[in-house]
Structure 1
């Protein structure tokens, strides 16, 4: 399975998240999955990629060619796809991935997350989206979504477009049980 990672590329990410990221990468490799990610060497991206690389997994990076001027590229990628824009990058993430895992991240991560959730809602893909809410990182975001449901700005079933877990083990339990052939219908 090709698993797309969305997460921070910041050098300032707390060590507890980096350790978790490495564990996630190790599990991706141990389960013979491929990592698809933004190519960054630092933060959650670099931590997960190191976990994959150190355990002989396959790594595919997708990065805008201009971004390498200010973001270090993880140097153990097996394949690198260069794009011209962030939009093209996100389209390739969606096309080349079978599942999405969201780890601690920033503005770019939120952009990517909401794009894949929106496209799932619009039935443009049927892929699992898993928010790894370790250390309650995404609690404020999840609370906001629940408030939006309460205020009727989004339908309640939109909460079913993604799955929230607290541990790396739960990520793979969910993926192992995911019905990739489902024909769910969502309210648009």
Structure 2
């Protein structure tokens, strides 16, 4: 039964065991089986059809059955979710906690993604600058002149200056306050 659990979940179990959350004498095969059963129960179900309260209860039941220590903060969070869902269901039986929480989750996702996107953009800009400089160096070396001049206009230097201005503008757009 252990082989059915994905590798990344097995790594979580190892981490939890090292933290002392999972007792040493727990039946790991049965625990893996129960977690896999719970994962299969919710895996392909659309979020609007999942009762968050029941999912939290299932999670706590598996933890209780295997004597897994759940930190007090997590227990309080689970109880708060159950209370919130029952009050919301009492006030509006058609409400879905997932539908209410979805906009906040999207905003949180994009807020956490923006620094990564900015760093990625910055890396691409630096790569582009390196390629432009390399092209100027190689082009100058192949032509045998330091600065090809067409009609007394230094094309390479003007192109480099324009590229530099574009890169500085892009860096300003990335690093302006509140963006990085």
Q: TM-score scaled by structure 1?
A: 0.24
Structure with bigger helix share is: 2
Tell me which structure has the larger Cα radius of gyration. 2
Q: TM-score scaled by structure 2?
A: 0.24
